[in-house]
Chains A and B, each alone.
Chain A
Amino acid sequence: MREFFAMGGYAFYVWTSYGIAFLVLLINFILPWQEHKQVLKTIARKLRRKAS
Chain B
Amino acid sequence: MWAFIQRFASPKHFYRISGKMIPWLGWTCLLLFIIGLYYGLILAPTDYQQGESYRIIYIHVPAAWLSMFVYMVMAISGAIGLIWRIKLSDIIAACSAPIGASFTFLALVTGSLWGKPMWGTWWVWDARLTSELILLFLYLGVIALNGAIEDKRIAARASAILALVGVVNIPIIHYSVEWWNTLHQGATVTKLDTPSIHIDMLIPLLLMAFAFKFYYATVLLMRARCEVLAREKNSHWVDTLVNPNPPSSAEGHSTNA
A residues bordering B, Cβ < 8 Å? 4, 7-10, 13-14, 16-18, 20-21, 24-25, 27-29, 31-33, 35-36, 39-40, 42-44, 46-47, 50-51
Contacts and interface: CB of A to CB of B under 8 A. Distances in A.
B106 A21 contact: yes
Query: Chain B interface mostly helix, strand, loop or mixed?
Result: helix
A14 B215 contact: no
20 contacts: A4-B42, A7-B53, A7-B55, A13-B114, A13-B117, A16-B113, A17-B113, A20-B109, A20-B110, A24-B105, A27-B102, A28-B98, A28-B99, A29-B219, A29-B222, A39-B230, A43-B233, A43-B239, A46-B233, A47-B246
Contact of B242 (A8, A18, A40): A40
Contacts, number: 92
Given A29-B218, A35-B226, 18 more contacts: A7-B52, A13-B114, A14-B55, A16-B113, A21-B110, A24-B103, A25-B215, A32-B219, A32-B222, A32-B223, A36-B225, A39-B229, A39-B233, A43-B229, A43-B239, A47-B239, A47-B243, A47-B246
